[in-house]
Structure 1
Amino acid sequence: MNWLGWLHDFFTDPAHRSGPDSVLNRLLEHLAFSAEALALAALIALPLGLLIGYWGRGMFLVTALTGVARALPTLGLVTLTVLLAGVGDAAVLVPLTALAVPPLLVAAAEGVRGTDPDTRDAARGIGLTHPQTLFQVCVPAALPTLLAGFRTAAVQVIATATVAAYVGQGGLGRYVIDGLATRNFATTAGGALLVVLLAVAVQLLFSLLIRYASPRGARTGLVDDPAGSPALLKESV
């Protein structure tokens, strides 16, 4: 049976329309895991990144932490967390949070560090304190870069949140893992497609947010990609 046939069987299955195994329920579970991981990563990465970017010190720390976090194997972290804390939400949130921290940390540090020095000096010259300069001048200027960091982190987390099924949790990964275990390739194909569509939708959503957060004169240009490569915003003024 081809892919179209598998997808037809998946989306016409009554079990996927209502109940605990419905597409809507699995989607909400997947989004919940992803949102919690992003929130935890933001609480860790943003304060540190903003301070490092503002004072211009400790970029070596950003590079080191980013390199270490990106080298951590997700399934290895899941296994270690299960051994230490048992099966539960922590087994999913720990590796997903570790995955989301690097792009957010880099985006916060680079975004604030890239603020026009003359603008910062002018803010200090009119009497703004360092915290006021950071949050009233630097953070708004860094918003497109921060959103680019959230875009990278969100897509990575959504694509990786399928590991929740390995430890008996829900989410769209439940379809993929259960389908492989029972050789029900229609379920596997449907789950994989839903993960891809969700990741693409989030990518497009953040791209729109970046577009409207960018100054009109800068909508055609480059926004630093926290993953390390420039992302071109193809917008017309």
Structure 2
Amino acid sequence: MTDAVLARVYQQSDLDQLSKEATIPIVNGLSDSYHPIQILADYLTIQEHYGHLNGLSISWIGDGNNVLHSIMMSAAKFGMHLRIATPKGYEPDPSVTTTAEQFSKESGTELFMTNDPLEAASGANILVTDTWVSMGQEEEKKKRLLDFKGYQITMQTGKVASPNWVFLHCLPRKPEEVDDEVFYSPKSLVFEEAENRKWTIMGVMVSLLTDYSPQLPKPTF
């Protein structure tokens, strides 16, 4: 009864099952493993701001979650370097890391992983974080807030980044993840990023359901 399904689910296996059984496009709107639509919106925001993606450095400071997994699976393909800081015990999925390392090797980009936020932020063009307590992790909140102490992004974090650094967050944001000074500063592109979620989802649907070819120049990689 529909031409496509965009599904937000808990388990990636639910999407895999939908895709296996369906004869129409199944789009991952979010799962516990990946959040690809969000990352497409992030890349659109970065492209609009810098005019290119190739050669830029992204710093992820936070949880090794689904958003990070999608960045890891794609950044190298756009020629982007990726620097990751997660607390011990919160690293990304090892299988995703293995694949990302291979992509980075093939693309000649850097994939750097550490437990030190400032080390990950060093020289980065884009500082990115996300919630420390994802859906289904509410019971872990108290422990997670303790484990993520020191991971809040502030202007002090930005001091070691590239002079032209910007900040991204997929929202909703909590103050412990990034302070007000950064979140509401000219460095923050979070509201442009939020708007671009709409255009990205529309673009994905149009591309899947029609013979549409973009009339505008393609991104500079």
Common fold by TM > 0.5 = no
Please report the TM-score for the alignment, with normalisation by the length of structure 1.
0.21
Q: Which of the two has higher C-alpha Rg? A: 1
Give the TM-score normalised by the residue count of structure 2.
Answer: 0.22
Where relative contact order (Cα < 8 A, 6+ residues apart) is larger, the structure is 1
Choose between structure 1 and 2: higher helix proportion: 1
